[in-house]
A and B are shown apart, each in its own frame.
Chain A
Amino acid sequence: MPPETQGPLTETVFYVLLALHSPLHGYGVMQYVDEITDGRTTIGPGTLYGALTTLAERGWIAPVEGDAGGRKKEYVITAAGRDAVETELVRLEELLRNGNRIARKGQQ
């Protein structure tokens, strides 16, 4: 894939990519995200289905091979997906750095 400027990831995409650092099916992703955000972010199944489809088309996640004929499709993050997360983390760190420096000036 040619290099492109990556805009901010949506929260759904970001957390789906985090969840898929180990293989999970859709329901597993929802539970995982619910858990690591203490229930703050619950991904709706309609939204999740769209996100998984888009991410798979983009090559940031891939279906797990040799899924032993199980009906539930499991996905896992790809190298390109990891790159996207890394790029996003750099951006988030910048946001946080600037936010702390300007909005919380002198409070630290």
Chain B
Amino acid sequence: MSTRIIHRLYWDFEKEELWLNEMAAKGLDLVRYRWGTYTFEQAEPGEWIYRIELLPESARKPASRRYLEFMADSGVQTVATYMSWVYFRKRAADGPFELYSDMDSRIAHYTRVLRLYGSLTTALVATTASSLHSVTLNGLNFFTLPLFVVQIAILVACAAYALRVAARVRSLKAQKQLFE
């Protein structure tokens, strides 16, 4: 079976999910994920639907393992886990596959994602501020300039994504005033 390895990094798990499903539609099924490295296997197009979820704690913890077992019993395969992230798939022949079917669980999930990227943004602000401090002391040079620019770019991207998720949580909460 031919495999294909693609290196990529995503902030947005929904864009990542969309990409995995586009690949699956073309007959490239994700079989492994590790540190931005996606391994695909050539197979029948459109056989699987992929979903990504952020668990409340590491996928290795007992509570998470119980959840993954429950998923397995419900016909949902765990393709990969990475910290608290899980890559699931289910056969498309079994019908639509959505992890959540109500507003509360959707809001809870986005809130987890928001918390993760919120604390990541805070950490990035701290490291960028300390770089800024050393730049003001030592000035920019051939080595520090690109590093500093990259640091700022990462911070901006992370903060922008966190703000997008925050907006999503707010709009879902507003919808919840009317619908379940």
| Chain A residues in the interface with B (C-beta under 8 A) | 10-12, 25-27, 30, 41-50, 71-73
Contact = CB atoms under 8 A, between A and B. Distances in A.
Nearest to B98: A44
Quick one: which of A25, A46, A47, A73 has the most chain B CB within 10 A?
A: A46
A30 B75 CA distance: 11
A17 to B, nearest CB: 15
Interface of B: 53, 67, 69-71, 73-76, 95-96, 98-102, 104-105, 108-109, 180
A57 to B, nearest CB: 13
Contacts of B108: 50
Lowest 5 A-B CB distances belong to which pairs? A46-B99, A44-B101, A47-B105, A27-B74, A44-B100
Contacts of B75: 27
What is the interface of chain A mostly: helix, strand, loop, or mixed? Answer: helix
Given A41-B101, A45-B71, 6 more contacts: A12-B101, A25-B73, A45-B74, A47-B101, A47-B102, A47-B105
Nearest to A10: B180
B70 A49 contact: yes
A43 B67 contact: no
Given A10-B180, A46-B53, A46-B109, A26 B70 contact: yes
